[in-house]
Amino acid sequence: NAGVTQTPKFQVLKTGQSMTLQCAQDMNHEYMSWYRQDPGMGLRLIHYSVGAGITDQGEVPNGYNVSRSTTEDFPLRLLSAAPSQTSVYFCASSRSGTAIYGYTFGSGTRLTVV
Amino acid sequence: LAKTTQPISMDSYEGQEVNITCSHNNIATNDYITWYQQFPSQGPRFIIQGYKTKVTNEVASLFIPADRKSSTLSLPRVSLSDTAVYYCLVVTPSNTNAGKSTFGDGTTLTVKP
């Protein structure tokens, strides 16, 4: 089925560890982005990309890195995990950066940092 | 892009029509209004988009007054399965503003039997 696939679905990290959250889409969307959602809160933009080779920071980029080497993939790297990064992470894509046709979201990665 | 304001929560009963209003006082001429639905433990789902007047699809209707400073998402005859968080998001048809639209905290709709 076409859509946005995120892996893993769940992850527990120890403080200081690093890891990569994977995101892939098969809709040939130009725009991809990462959000975090803390309990009872809305979504906050971490990083986004308007095409392969182009990335930019969102509202809360500190502690995270991204790269976009292909149209399909947009991995999010946690450099040195901290308990404050405990959250649910969503990847989203859209036809273009305008999002007037809507974002398609993945099912999320629930990350716990202990 | 325009900041949005929505009620934090709303309650309704099965079979009723629910209207959720979003305020976006600083909306620009070219901006569009989009709405998303999020169920627990799932990512948000795009449900409707509009520019002015009224838009209807199989899920909802979106009403936008002439001044476009607010919009109302209307869910007809809600059921328990419509319990979710609903987000209003203002977007612009320009790639130069990519990443500038921000989700607020949304409106938690609880439908009771």
In chain B, which residue's Cα lies nearest the Cα of A105? B43
pLDDT above 80 (res A98) = no
Structure tokens at B9: 């929560």
Residue B111 pLDDT: 97
Residue A2 pLDDT: 73
User: Mean of the per-residue pLDDT values for chain A?
Assistant: 94
Query: Which residues of chain A neighbour B98 with C-beta distances below 8 Å?
Result: 31, 48, 50, 56, 96-99
Summarize pLDDT for A23-42 with one digit per residue, the tens: 999 999 999 999 999 988 88
Distance (Å, whole) CA A107 – CA B13: 28
Residue A1 pLDDT: 62
Summarize pLDDT for B41-99 with one digit per residue, the tens: 899 999 999 999 899 999 999 999 999 999 999 999 999 999 999 999 998 877 666 67
By three-state DSSP, how is residue B99 classified?
coil
Structure tokens at A10: 């769940």
Summarize pLDDT for B11-37 with one digit per residue, the tens: 999 999 999 999 999 898 989 999 999
Structure tokens at A65: 């890195």
C-alpha distances out from residue B106 to A25, A98, A110, Å = 26, 21, 20
Residue A101 pLDDT: 85
Q: How many CB atoms lie within 10 A of CB B98?
A: 23
Cβ–Cβ below 8 Å for A99 and B44: no
